[in-house]
Amino acid sequence: MIRSRFVRSSVLVLSAFVALSCSDNSPTAPTPSAPVSAIRAGTTQDALLGGLLGGLLRVVTSVVGFVANANVDVHPVAWNSSYVKVPHTVSGTISQWGGSLTIPESDFTITFPVGAVSQPTLITITSDANYAAYAMSPHMTFAKPVVVTQRLRNTVVYGKPLPSPIFGAYVDKPALDLLGNLLGTVFNALEIELSATLFVPGSSTLPEITTWTVNHFSRYMLASG
């Protein structure tokens, strides 16, 4: 059983005036003047959760806590039938001032805060053809957590209530081939990442976005237990 914590509420709304990506993309970006509303204050994990939700106004359906050395089986979330099932790649240089990379076809964004890397670093990310999963390089650890945002409209979980929580998972190397394509439907998760799934506006049941923190590269997927 995945050790995780869940917050379920149809009325809990978290808001922020400045998104993480807006505050960290450039050396001249303004410092946020309003704090992010948090589910609970006082821990490092809660502070990271505030970063996950910065700039979003949604209802939270579930929050999954970080689990190191998870060593559990997870199932990748598949793309839906309308998704063009080919890999997509994005590359870009991220400096110490941070920045973002996106794969529009996969509704994927990754945001690097100021100070995540100490020098300009070429980042490459390739999406899987069949699942919301990504091969990321180079293999490295970040000085500050990086935030992944995965919109769900092209996945099989969109438009229906979630049967179980979904989350970001760091998976074992054999799960991916050299092109980033998954080789099976059940994988060993080495870590469960701090993740939050948010509803479609105006709905109390339909998921729209899952976002999670990343402390190191290289192989992540949107998964369920």
Pick from 179, 175, 222: nearest CA to 78: 222
**Of 4-18, 47-61, 145-159, which one has max mean pLDDT?**
145-159
pLDDT in tens, 13-67: 222 212 323 333 333 332 222 222 222 223 344 445 555 555 454 556 678 888 8
Domain-wise residue ranges, the chain? 13-224
Residue 4 or residue 97, greater confidence = 97
Which DSSP string corresponds to the chain?
---------SS-EE--SS-HHHHHSSTTPPPP-SPPP-SS-SSHHHHHHHHHHTT--EEEEEEE--BTT--EEEEEPBB-TTS--S--EEEEEEBTTBEEEEEGGGTEEEEE-TTSSSS-EEEEEEE-SSBSEEEEES--EEEEEEEEEEE-TTBTTTTS--SS-EEEEEE-GGGB-TTS-B--S-EEEEEE--EEEEEPTT-SS-EEEEEEEEEE-SEEEEEE-
The correct CATH number of 13-224 out of 3.30.70.120, 2.60.220.30, 2.40.33.20, 1.20.1250.20 is 2.60.220.30
| pLDDT value of position 48 | 53
Q: Which of 58-62, 84-88, 150-154 has the lowest mean pLDDT?
A: 58-62
Q: 180: pLDDT confidence band, cut at 50, 70 and 90?
A: low
**Of 2-6, 63-67, 96-100, which one has max mean pLDDT?**
96-100
| pLDDT value of position 71 | 86
